[in-house]
Amino acid sequence: MQRICLFPGTFDPVTLGHIDIIDRALPLFDKIYVGIGINSSKDPMFSADQRMEWFKEIYKDEPKVESVTYEGLTIQYCKKINAHFILRGIRFVSDFEYEKTIADANRTLDRSIETIFLTGEPKYTSVASTIVRDILRNGGNASPFLPQAVIDTLYS
């Protein structure tokens, strides 16, 4: 059985914290789908296509990583792509409490799909897309929090 994983999120924008989680998960999985969730109740700053393009650029030399968009329940999308693992990044204890609740619900829906938590590197704990969006909206320089592919798009 191939170890296929879905790393779901909004990724609005892609940050160094997201890249840290993916890079450290690479040895664990045969395939990592970065699933950009489309949520009609959210109004993202960047289009889903732009977010997918960032991941494609960042991982252009890594065939194990593929960016996709999906709607609906994460667990249903896992079934569609034959993923038996959901990857989630944890920065703080509060993240774990929230993520565990979702993982428990997902386990109730399908016991064959396991959630894997990776803690972020300490240097990335302050990196959150919400903070980055606020910096960008207010004309600040968010470069210290962003991968080069995102910087190239925003500041070129």
User: With contact defined as beta carbons under 8 Å apart, do 43 and 29 qualify?
Assistant: no
Options 40, 41, 42, 112, the catalytic residue: 42
Residue 18 is among the residues annotated as catalytic for this protein:
yes
Is 129 marked active-site? yes
**Set 51, 67, 88, 91: catalytic member:** 91
Which residues does 70 contact at the CB level (< 8 Å), separation at least 6? 8, 35, 36, 37, 38, 77, 80
Residue 79 is a catalytic residue? no
Tokens 């995102």, located at residue: 150
Q: Which of 155, 78, 72, 151 is nearest to 111 (CA)?
A: 78
Structure tokens at 64: 């194990």
Please give the Cα distance from 30 to 4 (Å, whole number). 6
User: Is 91 among the catalytic positions?
Assistant: yes
99: nearest Cα among 78, 116, 81, 112: 116
Catalytic residues: 18, 42, 91, 129
